[in-house]
Amino acid sequence: MRIDLNEIQHWIAQGSRILDLGCGDGTLLKFLIDNKQVEGYGLEIDPEQINLCIDKGLNVVEQNLDRGLGNFADKSFDTVLMTQALQTLHYPHLVLDEMLRVGKECIVTFPNFGHWKARYYLATRGRMPVSDLLPYEWYDTPNIHFCTFKDFEVLCREKNIQVIHRQVVNEKSLLTLKDVAPNLFGETAIYHLRKSV
């Protein structure tokens, strides 16, 4: 289980109604159904991932997130989730708006492009960072909209989005540096959001 998925469950209420955007192979949705008795749907566009969701008996719906969530009513889900997909979208800010319209709350996770390794790579080699976490070359990466934690929080302020919780997680969380300077040492951010009233 990816470390960010394990953290997310703490912010999900028992028996709540979930929409998982870019649900991948359905690992998180299945985990939440088994452990939190949630009900809901996963949206995905990758045929192979959809197959893996079907194998798990999940409700998976083929839908392109860049076309919005116009087929879902306002506040029709308790929580709308999107893990590690924000950076793959053509219009991440619009999808974020849609998530906050459809869900009472939202949980978003994404990789931190401000991590020191990425900064060091770019600074010393003058080339776009390639690492274990982000193993793609710039021209064939599905990740087309990178941001840092700071960038994301600026967007939240501009959009009047309230950050309920923020958690920074690393694959090897031996160091506590991420808690001191998360935008430099944090690998993955998990944001728990809702629209400010």
Partner 1 sequence: MPITLPADSVGLVTPQTIQFNEPLLLACGKTLDNYQLVYETYGQLNASKSNAVLICHALSGHHHAAGYHTMDDRKPGWWDAYIGPGKPIDTNKFFVVALNNLGGCHGSTGPTSINPATGKPWGPDFPKLRVRDWVASQALLADRLGIDAWAAVIGGSLGGMQAMRWALEHPERVRHCVVIASAMKLTAQNIAFNETARQAIMSDPNFCDGRYLEHNILPRNGLAVARMIGHITYLSDYAMGEKFGRDLRRGSFERGTDEPVEFQIESYLRYQGDTFANNFDANSYLLITKALDYFDLAREYNDDPVLAFSHAQAKFLVVSFSTDWRFAPDRSREIVNALMGARKAVTYAEIDSNFGHDAFLLPNPRYQQVFARYLAGIATE
Among 55, 66, 171, 179, binds partner 1 (CB under 8 A): 55
Among 13, 73, 122, 164, binds partner 1 (CB under 8 A): 73
Nearest distance in Å: CB 85, partner 1 = 18
Q: Is 80 in the site for partner 1 (CB under 8 A)?
A: no
Cβ of 70: how many Cβ atoms within 10 Å?
9
Q: Is 37 in the site for partner 1 (CB under 8 A)?
A: no
Q: Is 47 in the site for partner 1 (CB under 8 A)?
A: yes
Q: Is 33 in the site for partner 1 (CB under 8 A)?
A: no
Q: Output b/e per residue, 149-159; b: 16+ Cβ within 10 A.
A: beebbeebeee
Tell me the one-letter amino acid at 145: H
Tell me the one-letter amino acid at 6: N
Using CB under 8 A, count the residues that bind partner 1: 20
- Nearest one of 125, 117, 96 to 183, comparing CA atoms: 117
Q: Is 18 exposed, middle or buried (0-12, 13-18, 19+ CB in 10 A)?
A: buried
Residues found near partner 1 in the complex (CB under 8 A):
17, 39, 41, 47, 50-51, 53-55, 57-63, 71-73, 76
